[in-house]
Amino acid sequence: MTRRTRYSALALLRHGLGRQDWPRVVDHHEPARSYQVVIIGGGVHGLATAYYLAANHGITDVAVIEKSYIGSGGSGRNTAIVRSNYLTPEGASFYQRSVELYEGLAAELNFNVMFEQRGHMTLAHNDSSLRTMHWRAEVNKTRGIDSSVIGPGEIKRLVPFMDVSANARYPILGALWHPPGGIIRHDAVVWGYARGANAHGVHIHQDTEVTGIDVTNGAVTGVETTRGRIATGTVINCTAGWSSLVAAMAGVRLPILTRPLQAAVTEPVKHFLGPVVVSGTLHVYVSQTARGELVFGASVDPFASYSTRGSLEFTENLAKHVLELMPAIAKMRLLRQWAGLCDMTPDFAPIMGFTAVDGFVVDVGWGTYGFKAAPVAGEQIARLVATGSVPPLIAPFSLDRFENGRLVGEKGAAAVGH
């Protein structure tokens, strides 16, 4: 790190006693006329990529362009779940690296990201989902991932309030149990990466929108922004929600449909829920935050849209499904609901790598998996840009798989049916 105040107990004491202000986490800069690398999107993917370009490869002449404020998109709207219990060998290895990076992130960034590995439990209410859980567990084990199928007795031990009796309307036959999974403070991850990148000299331009990408003779030459033109030979599209529109600016077509994903949070109550609990059959996942709120999510909305507003239909269905699982919380009040945008690909796997336009790199198509992938995507895309070659961990996720038919079917690892 070139310049930054280390956060520590001593620094806290010094600032408290001296009544000093803390330095800004992100400095303000006027956009330079050119950068070696321009990253579009100041979410956790863009910021992580900028951080690793600087920290791992010494590439610091980098700008992150964000049309709103950092973390205002999917990075601040997800339900903050981290896990690596995926269905495909490619997906499991990739997300496992992300869990490893998350485990070391607070120390790496000197920022408390509050990662709590409380375990991740995916319930099976019928034979076919139990079969998928066994499949996932076996794939996971081949990747060294701690993941196994457990029965109703063990589920009851881990989540005592859960009704595992055979009389339940949707009886619980078993679950995929993944102890390293958990939850994290998503805004802290955004700010930690931003602070790290900023300290290395990366420029983070908020309130700055990319309005065009200049391509000459098949190669990127710059971006047009609401604060002027910036020349560059490398543009990385790290957007979510608008990734296909941004790619179209460079003349690149992406097989993406954007759909909202809604979530909601309750008032805080005393702690009673340890693991993250997921029920695909009931289209719901729930975790309890450190403050005691329950955070719920469901399936993506059944239509393409760029709306980030919540709907009453979502809340009614959510309540119905949650109460099948946890009738005891019927009197809890929901405080807020919101939506984020998910860029869905045909095989539910992301698109990472080079495109037909020289210098235009994509890190997009994250569907409902984006937040948990940010550290590894940032690390690997930075490596791709720095070395000019595709790292093996992300090679399966290239755009040309939709032409050559080598899809990475990851729908079976979705938290809920979509």
Residue ranges in contact with ligand PYC by CB under 6 A:
79, 81, 83, 285, 297, 368-369, 414-415
Q: Which is nearer to ligand PYC, 242 or 285 (CB)?
A: 285
CB of 116 to ligand PYC, least distance (A): 15
Nearest Cα to 402, choosing from 370, 362, 375?
362
CB of 183 to ligand PYC, least distance (A): 10
Q: Are 182 and 290 spatial neighbours (Cβ–Cβ below 8 Å)?
A: no
Q: Are 280 and 112 spatial neighbours (Cβ–Cβ below 8 Å)?
A: no
Q: Which is nearer to ligand PYC, 184 or 414 (CB)?
A: 414
Beta bridge partners of 337: 264
Task: Please tell me the distance from the alpha carbon of residue 45 to that of residue 171, in angstroms, as a whole number.
Answer: 39
- Whose tokens are 């957007």? That residue is 239
Task: Please tell me the distance from the alpha carbon of residue 307 to that of residue 322, in angstroms, as a whole number.
Answer: 24
CB of 193 to ligand PYC, least distance (A): 20
Please report how the helices 89-103 and 370-387 are oriented relative to each other, as an axis angle in degrees rounded to 10. 90
Q: Which is nearer to ligand PYC, 360 or 371 (CB)?
A: 371
Q: Which is nearer to ligand PYC, 221 or 311 (CB)?
A: 311
Q: Which is nearer to ligand PYC, 105 or 298 (CB)?
A: 298
What residues have CB less than 8 Å from 389, skipping those under 6 apart? none
Residue-level length of the chain? 418
Q: Which is nearer to ligand PYC, 174 or 297 (CB)?
A: 297
Q: Which is nearer to ligand PYC, 73 or 196 (CB)?
A: 73
By CB atoms closer than 10 A (0-12, 13-18, 19+), residue 338 is middle
Beta bridge partners of 352: 363
CB of 195 to ligand PYC, least distance (A): 26
b/e for 26-54, b at 16 or more Cβ within 10 A? Answer: beeeebeeebebbbbbbbbbbbbbbbbbb
DSSP state for residue 328 in the 8-state scheme:
G
Residue 327 token pair = 């009738």
What residues have CB less than 8 Å from 308, skipping those under 6 apart? 77, 260, 338, 339, 340, 341
Residue 308 token pair = 């980030």
Q: Are 78 and 375 spatial neighbours (Cβ–Cβ below 8 Å)?
A: no
CB of 304 to ligand PYC, least distance (A): 18
Beta bridge partners of 257: 344
CB of 43 to ligand PYC, least distance (A): 15
Beta bridge partners of 225: 210, 228
Q: Which is nearer to ligand PYC, 236 or 351 (CB)?
A: 351
Query: Which ranges of 200-349 would DSSP assign to H, the alpha helix?
Result: 243-249, 312-325
CB of 59 to ligand PYC, least distance (A): 31
Q: Which is nearer to ligand PYC, 73 or 297 (CB)?
A: 297
Q: Which is nearer to ligand PYC, 48 or 54 (CB)?
A: 48
Q: How many CB atoms are closer than 10 A to CB 390?
A: 17
